[in-house]
Structure 1
Amino acid sequence: MTAAVEHDPYVLPLPAPDSLVVQPHLVRALHAHLNAEYAAPVWPLAPLNENPSSSNLAIHWANSPGCFQQELRLIAWTLINGELRPSFLRGRGTRLRARISTTGISETVRRWIHLALWLQDQGITTLADCDTRVLHEYGQHLLPTYGSRSYAHDTLVSLTRLWAYDQLTARPTGIGRPPWDELGADDYLPAATSTSGGENAGEALAEETMGPLLIWSLRVIDDFADDILAAWDESQRLRQTARTSRATPDGAAALQTYLDSLSATRTPLPTVMNKGRTSLARNYICGITGASKTQLNRVIVRMGLARKATLRPGPCPLDTPVTGRIAGRPWRKRLDFGEAADLMRHLGTAAFIVLSYLTGMRPGEVLGLRSGCCPDPEPGKDGKARRHLIRGHEFKIATDEQGNYLSSGQEREVPWVAIRPVVNAIRVLERMVPDGALLFDHNTHDLHASRANTGALRFGTLRTRIEDFVVWANAEAAVHERTHDLIPPDPCGAIGTERFRRTLAWHIARRPGGLVALAIQYGHLRTTFVSEGYGARSRDGIHELIDVETVRAVADTVADLHDDLEDGAGVSGPAARRAIRAAATAPRFEGTAITATTARRLIANEDAMIFDNPQAFVLCHYKRAQALCHRDGVRDTPSLDHCVPSCGNIVRTDRHAAQLRDRADFLDKRAAAAPQPVGDRLRGSANKLRGFADAHDRFRITPTEDLA
């Protein structure tokens, strides 16, 4: 009797031409309608994905050589629906997972197709002939083409997956084992570099750009939102009226009366821009008169209104109040029917900027937020209001118990803390979308276009909208003669969607209270981040970015102090001698790649950490045990917005003394033009600053004197 073959749960059955690309148990409801059949020329990967902000990727089999297509289809189908054996994963490090994300699948198959194209050029037409020797040659062929070691490593892992998943198909090709899987990858990788990537690689937005950009975003949310939402509702009511109005004598009479009044007074005709051309605002006219479009079309022909509209273009004023103000004056005389959709688009963009910048969330986390994510908190037992918390999902690092990627994300263990401008932005978005919907749901925010895809706005769309928002805001600044509110181009290029998080970390680390004009207290934000779980998960928190920016700021401060001392400058203060010794070791920072790990290690080294506080005209050589800036316990970094002049960590330089005297002179000038009580206080402050400068001159020391 023949022994029964034991069923192997990791080997998938052979699919039929009409088998679904994504098997039912893996399909996510958000994109289930996009699932394709095995024989289709394009395989959408969206049915695997429940991340509302991710792109809907697909595998295009036309890119694959015909001789390899059937082999690669079967292995790719197994990659999509199967998973690697636990016994295979053990001992192969963290780069391999039993299942990977849709982005990983797309990139992996793309690399398989690249291999197939190379094999075809070598005269090989089946994976069965791609043995270990051939894979070695391919690995050596790729070596000069890599831009980074990380990308090279990912390429090798994808080819290891090809070999591994081939063995799990119902019809294995027998492709050879990659030599790097057995002997190690170093011979197939470029040399390691110290360059860090990811979030640490992007440049923070310049203060000159971020300041006015945030001002306009907050202005749109706090001052203009009511007007914009009312104008949108009214424009939609007029459109609905135009769509549903039937031809009646009353409508015809109202239409004729309206047009006759415009003609008699030579008033410009209501027009809109349509694909770059000026045309009569038909929906607006039908909406305000109640006439049908058929009736309007007849009048247009009879009166030649189409041509007159191009000669006498005019506005389409809406009957909604204007409550928003800029510098105490209304920001519009009337809102216009033709601009309602654009203003709604700018309103959504402003909310995205506020949320991205003032929470520290990643763009995908912002786009994954839903209505109701930030409820009003219940008062505490003492009757005081508690902080608003944002409950959302994280996607970048979401994995299950086996370490496999979860496209649906997972709710953060610690919610984000929301300050008031963030809460206001969320409340505006909740007025725009249905209850429970994504705050950036494309069905609400894509006002001029319709697409079959579901989910949130895409990153590319938001990048374009942010640039459009800048153009619009600058036009508004010009109209209202507020040149100081113009948003200049960022020196490092487009603003994008991913630089806000890095910029927030930069400001928290380097500018304590630095943007007071924005009414955003960065010192408070630093406290919130660290002590209240703003980024509490060690593997995900923005505090890692803050640490990196803090160490970079310290490196700049120590280097500047080192150069000043080398040029003969002096320092004073309780920590002056410590600062001289620390500055002598400034070269330790040179050439160091500052990652989250190295940042934590350097912050823990109190001898190396000197912080600049330009607002207080001091340096802080921080020692936790003697810091006076923390009232509620010791921390690894100072609270520079609570600097105490008598603190034992303070250092002053010659530059600070000069700045103190300049500031004192400025206060004296203000005092001369102020009423006596105010003037007396200003003069007192000026004398105090000069006293600090004089004390520096008396007690300053130089490196030579310190050694003596």
Structure 2
Amino acid sequence: MTTAPSTSGRLLPAPHSPVVPPQRAAGANAHLNSRFADDVWSLAPLIENPSTGTSSIHWRNCPEPFQAELRLLVWTLINKELRPTFLRERARTLRSRTSVAGTTTTVRVWMHLARWLTGRGLDTLADCDSGVLDAYATHLRERGGSRSSVAQALLALTRLWAFDELTARPVGIGRPPWDEHGVDDYLPAATTRGGENATEAIAETTMGPLLVWAMRMVDDLADDILAAWAEHQQVPVVAKATTPTETGLAALDAYTHRLDATGALVPVIRYRGRIVLARQYIAVLTGASMDQVNLYAKRGLTRAARLRPGPCPLRTPIRGTVHGQPWREAVNLDEAATLMRHLGTACFIVIAYLTGMRPGEVLGLHTGCCPNPPPEPDGNPGRHLIRGREFKTARDEDGNHLSRGTERALPWVAIAPVVNAIRVLERMVPDGHLLFDSRTHHFATVRPATGSLVAGAMVRRIEDFITWANTEAARHGLARETIPPDPHGRVASARFRRTLAWHIARRPGGLVALAIQYGHLRTTISAGYASRSRDGIHVLLDIETVRAVGDTVTGLHQHLEDGGGISGPAARRAIQAAARAPEFAGTVITATTARRYLANDDLLIYDNPHTLLMCVYKRDQALCHRDSAAATPTLDHCVAGCPNIARTDHHADHLRDRARALARKAAHLPVPLAQRLTTTAERLDALADRHHFDRQILQEGP
């Protein structure tokens, strides 16, 4: 590294000094290291997460008078660490070194400060004393940013002061007043929750058919698509290798005469936005050489293609079906790359939704991550486990973020659809590569990319997959399997994790209800996910569980206020819990508040629409947990006579409706089946009668 001494005895970077110190430059991106004098500084050498896109610092965004000062400060930020004594005296969340995302955010704040100072007629950070920083902090608070964004900016300015003291040529920036007197007075009022816990779940009406199409593509159509892609890859190879022969010329001549005589469509492909004659396809189809095809193209085949453009059906046999019917007559040469792209997207949807992994964890998986397990001692098949890396919470011994991530201490449990998706991906990428290797998954073009696809790219691919699936649904007459737009906007990759938590929390027994609904999957939390011990998703589950409880309690409160009634052994406890419904109103459910609510038996009411009852949960009385006192009930194991059962008027009405439906069905069935349905209908009617006999309502008066 070329450096120069300074008056302080510390070394100054020279114009050709690397921006990232060699010992921190990550393997695949180390060659992208910039030089101190460059107009753009690439931070790619610091990135080892395969699903993280590269980022850069553009010095054109920095006012000219401040460039020399900030270049040295940013170089120091990247090359040095905060002193341990500085860290011990401050917030525990402050780290000696920032992550790549933290570095870009910090530099963005520093450049914004420079532009603000320029507007006030200042041209050096030396004029940025405590009073100026106080005024800038007030400006940040009053311009309408969130509390977290302002706090992040003030932390970046604290780093500016700290790293100025570490540079070889300190400017003399003043100490931020919030570092001395506290930050609260400089922050806007707290607002609603943010981050992952604020992510909206994908609507059931959207997630249901989306999952169906994703699993259909993985389970039913993948073999056809992979075979078609293999044939597609061979077309240019075979075409270029074919030598001119009389036999090939005769076949080509006969083929063109047949096209002219019948007026048949001429095979074309789309190339760079234009429709052109599929010359390589015709060469392979007839056995002619490319020179021979080019000769016939000039003799009129190209003109015929413009007049009568047609498909290029591949010879790959179609074995996949949609509702028992072949999903294609043939795969077209021109659509093979698009179908491969959609197949990769379908695999991502299945893995991300049915495991609860974060997007970066899915995109960071390699081939071989889910080996076939040995059989259990009893001879039953073993459980598939996915071994991968976690990135968001990865820290080194000093608490600094590790871009390369760390190996998960506990593997993910993989259910059958997930294993199928991984096996499909392993057929798509070379052995030893990332399952979503960026070079491989750009099928239509060749890109010199490293790492995996990034989460932002998956959002676009999911949108394209939805468009394709809706086109297929219309073509097959499957209006009920059309994927409607989600009311909360784009189906971002991070939303699958939230959606899984939503469905587990709001479906009896934590069943992945959408998959069950379509007959593909039946697995419970305990059997398939072990989710309450899995890297953070238990936090989302707790939050969604408490939100569901809040909705149930609030609904019961309104029902009772409107004169509705409730019955059952837990009716009185349900009324008492409903009286506390206002506690949920306006409360932001965080991980902390969720744990507090779940620890309070007096508030926990779970609606169970499948068995038409409510569970007013008391751990020590629950018959669904005979051997343990679990934090939440197992609603698909409700036991008649449980002391936790309660029913409202709505439940009783639904009992009557179900009884009438069974009675009508029994009238058209043979006697043994009819008797069984009649007995069930009578039992449901008896439960409704019992409700109205035992029904309790709110008493008037104090």
Shift of 1:93: 0.9
Structure 2 counterpart of 1:599, from 594, 601, 606: 594
Distance 1:27 1:244, change over 3 A: farther
Shift of 1:253: 3.6
Code of the aligned partner of 2:217: V
Q: Is the 8 A contact 2:389 2:405 kept in 1?
A: yes
Shift of 1:320: 1.0
Distance 1:124 1:108, change over 3 A: same
Asked if 1:491 is matched to 2:487, the reply is yes
Shift of 1:675: 3.2
Asked if 1:112 is matched to 2:113, the reply is no
Structure 2 counterpart of 1:362, from 336, 358, 377: 358
> 1:122 matched to which residue of 2?
120
Shift of 1:489: 0.9
Shift of 1:279: 2.2
Distance 1:333 1:508, change over 3 A: same
In structure 2, C-alpha distance between the alignment counterparts of 1:433 and 1:50, rounded to whole Å? 20
Code of the aligned partner of 2:439: N
Shift of 1:311: 2.1
Q: Is the 8 A contact 2:439 2:449 kept in 1?
A: no
In structure 1, C-alpha distance between the alignment counterparts of 2:110 and 2:9, rounded to whole Å? 20
Asked if 1:88 is matched to 2:98, the reply is no
> 2:226 matched to which residue of 1?
229
Structure 1 counterpart of 2:457, from 456, 461, 466: 461
Structure 2 counterpart of 1:696, from 684, 691, 698: 691
The Cα offsets for residues 284-307 of structure 1, whole Å up to 9 and x where unpaired, read as 22233343433322211112x223
> 2:282 matched to which residue of 1?
285
Shift of 1:517: 2.1
Distance 1:12 1:409, change over 3 A: farther
In structure 2, C-alpha distance between the alignment counterparts of 1:626 and 1:418, rounded to whole Å? 34
Asked if 1:140 is matched to 2:135, the reply is no
Distance 1:100 1:291, change over 3 A: farther
Show structure 1 runs of 5+ residues with no match. Answer: 1-6
Code of the aligned partner of 2:518: L
The Cα offsets for residues 392-418 of structure 1, whole Å up to 9 and x where unpaired, read as 111111111111000001111111111
Shift of 1:188: 1.6
Shift of 1:82: 1.3
Q: Is the 8 A contact 1:12 1:78 kept in 2?
A: no
> 2:211 matched to which residue of 1?
214
RMSD over aligned CA atoms reads: 2.0
> 2:468 matched to which residue of 1?
472
> 1:74 matched to which residue of 2?
72
> Could you tell me the percent identity over the aligned residues?
58
The Cα offsets for residues 351-401 of structure 1, whole Å up to 9 and x where unpaired, read as 111111111111111111111111111112222222111111111111111
> 2:549 matched to which residue of 1?
554
Residues 291-330 of structure 1: matches in 2 within 5 Å?
291-303=288-300, 305-330=301-326
Code of the aligned partner of 1:147: G
Q: Is the 8 A contact 1:523 1:639 kept in 2?
A: no
> 1:654 matched to which residue of 2?
649
Structure 1 counterpart of 2:663, from 661, 668, 681: 668
Shift of 1:248: 4.6
The Cα offsets for residues 118-144 of structure 1, whole Å up to 9 and x where unpaired, read as 112222222222222221221122221
Shift of 1:165: 1.2
Q: Is the 8 A contact 2:414 2:528 kept in 1?
A: no
Distance 1:272 1:176, change over 3 A: same
Distance 1:241 1:632, change over 3 A: farther
Code of the aligned partner of 1:424: N
In structure 1, C-alpha distance between the alignment counterparts of 2:205 and 2:10, rounded to whole Å? 58
Question: Secondary structure of 1:170's partner?
Answer: coil
Shift of 1:230: 0.3
Shift of 1:476: 0.8
Q: Is the 8 A contact 1:11 1:168 kept in 2?
A: no
Distance 1:135 1:249, change over 3 A: farther
> 1:517 matched to which residue of 2?
517
Shift of 1:527: 5.5
Question: Secondary structure of 1:109's partner?
Answer: helix
In structure 2, C-alpha distance between the alignment counterparts of 1:148 and 1:417, rounded to whole Å? 38
Q: Is the 8 A contact 2:338 2:444 kept in 1?
A: no
4+ residue runs over 6 A deviation: none
Which deviates the most, 30-39 or 347-356? Answer: 30-39
Question: Secondary structure of 2:81's partner?
Answer: coil
In structure 2, C-alpha distance between the alignment counterparts of 1:392 and 1:671, rounded to whole Å? 53
The Cα offsets for residues 129-178 of structure 1, whole Å up to 9 and x where unpaired, read as 22222212211222212421111110001111111112212222222221
Asked if 1:481 is matched to 2:477, the reply is yes
Distance 1:22 1:692, change over 3 A: same
Distance 1:298 1:639, change over 3 A: same
Asked if 1:608 is matched to 2:606, the reply is no
In structure 2, C-alpha distance between the alignment counterparts of 1:666 and 1:387, rounded to whole Å? 41
The Cα offsets for residues 3-32 of structure 1, whole Å up to 9 and x where unpaired, read as xxxx99x99632111111111100111212
TM-score (ref. length: structure 1): 0.94
Code of the aligned partner of 2:136: Y
Which deviates the most, 517-526 or 313-322? Answer: 517-526
Residues 380-419 of structure 1: matches in 2 within 5 Å?
380-419=376-415
In structure 2, C-alpha distance between the alignment counterparts of 1:535 and 1:643, rounded to whole Å? 21
In structure 1, C-alpha distance between the alignment counterparts of 2:598 and 2:479, rounded to whole Å? 41
> 2:679 matched to which residue of 1?
684
In structure 2, C-alpha distance between the alignment counterparts of 1:690 and 1:91, rounded to whole Å? 69
In structure 2, C-alpha distance between the alignment counterparts of 1:631 and 1:291, rounded to whole Å? 76
In structure 1, C-alpha distance between the alignment counterparts of 2:20 and 2:639, rounded to whole Å? 63
Distance 1:334 1:280, change over 3 A: same
Asked if 1:268 is matched to 2:268, the reply is no
> 1:158 matched to which residue of 2?
156
Shift of 1:242: 2.7
Shift of 1:200: 1.6
TM-score (ref. length: structure 2): 0.95
Q: Is the 8 A contact 1:523 1:641 kept in 2?
A: no
> 2:623 matched to which residue of 1?
628
Code of the aligned partner of 1:272: I
Shift of 1:325: 1.1
Code of the aligned partner of 1:156: L
Shift of 1:342: 0.8
Asked if 1:199 is matched to 2:196, the reply is yes
Q: How many residues align?
A: 693
Show structure 2 runs of 5+ residues with no match. Answer: none
The Cα offsets for residues 641-695 of structure 1, whole Å up to 9 and x where unpaired, read as 1112221110011110110111111112222233333222222222221121111
